[in-house]
Amino acid sequence: MSEVVHGYRRPNEAHQPPLNSPAYGSTRARHPQQPLLELPHTLTETSSPIFTPARYPEVADLTVLENGAGHAMGERIIVAGRLTDEDGRPVRHAMVEVWQANAAGRYNHEGDQHDAPLDPNFRGMGRVFTDEDGWYRYLTIRPGAYPWRNHHNAWRPNHIHYSLFGQGFAQRMITQMYFPGDPLLPLDPIFNTVSDEAARNRLVSRFDLDITRPEHALGYRFDIVLRGREATPMEENHHD
């Protein structure tokens, strides 16, 4: 008996960061040294949890607390974009989680000891869902740069972390959105782990006047592409 599983396309290595990246010091003791075992895609990899706003409530405005008291300091921005797969199909009803530093470059996290002020009115995390066409949108504060100890005088460029789920657990990914024209980008070992320039630059959002709301906030566009399905289904191998 033979049947097929529609697996996901394997990544192009130049378009993804390597696990061992000496310029990013934290990879040193954390990257596997043994070759990875190539896992055939089964139902475990091609199925995914279902997230709904009923159980995972939306937080589409990071600039106010739940009780609505007080507004976060900093430059208010709208970030919007489209989640698609490698075939250009929208990823519908997907949960998009974001987290970031505040305008001063400080995370509301006990591990962040940077000498910059916390903002009691900034939520620091958001959660939104894509619509029928894969669009998502949230309101936040432009994050500040902050120092880290990777090397002398190291500063992370402004960025927002993204956590994404698709329709198969093989599409699961975490990434970072950067800002156009940031002078720290050419110096950042994490951004530069992606060797392909075009792939790297797809992590940089674009200023977008159509997303910008008059008298309110600048708009940035950030599209994300999840893996697509294999064109040719894999044969299941179960002759034993």
Catalytically annotated residue among 92, 161, 206, 221: 161
CA atoms of 117 and 107, how far apart (whole Å)? 9
Among 169, 187, 207, 230, binds another protein (CB under 8 A): 169
The reply to whether 220 belongs to the active site is no
Q: How far is the C-alpha of 207 from the C-alpha of 227, rounded, in Å?
A: 25
Handedness of CA 113, 115, 116, 117 (dihedral sign): positive
* β-pairing verdict for 206-207 and 125-129: unpaired
Give the integer Cα–Cα distance in Å for 209 and 158: 20
Least separation, in Å, of the C-beta of 83 and another protein? 9
C-alpha closest to that of 103 among 160, 152, 24, 58: 160
CB of 98 to another protein, least distance (A): 8
- 7-46 mask for another protein (x: CB under 8 A)? --xxxx--xxxxx-x--xxxxxxxxxxx-xxxxxxxxxx-
**Can you read off the two tokens belonging to residue 227?**
């893996």
Establish if 114 lies at the interface with another protein (CB under 8 A): no
**Active-site residue, 161 included:** yes
Q: HSE of 49 in the Cβ direction (CA atoms, 13 Å)?
A: 8
72 interacts with another protein by CB under 8 A: no
Size of the site for another protein (CB under 8 A): 105
Paired with 98 in beta bridges are 126, 162
149 binds another protein (CB under 8 A): no
Active site residue 9: no
Return the amino acid letter for 173: M
Q: How far is the CB of 38 from another protein (least distance, A)?
A: 5
Asked if 71 is part of the footprint of another protein (rule: CB under 8 A), the reply reads: no
User: Of 40 and 180, which has the nearer Cβ to another protein?
Assistant: 40
CB atoms within 10 A of CB 47: 12
Q: Decide if residue 183 touches another protein (CB under 8 A).
A: no
Tell me if 151 contacts another protein by CB under 8 A: no
Applying CB under 8 A, among 72, 80, 103, 141 the residue interacting with another protein is: 80
**Residue of 8, 24, 107, 136 with catalytic role:** 107
Q: Which residues are catalytic?
A: 107, 146, 156, 159, 161
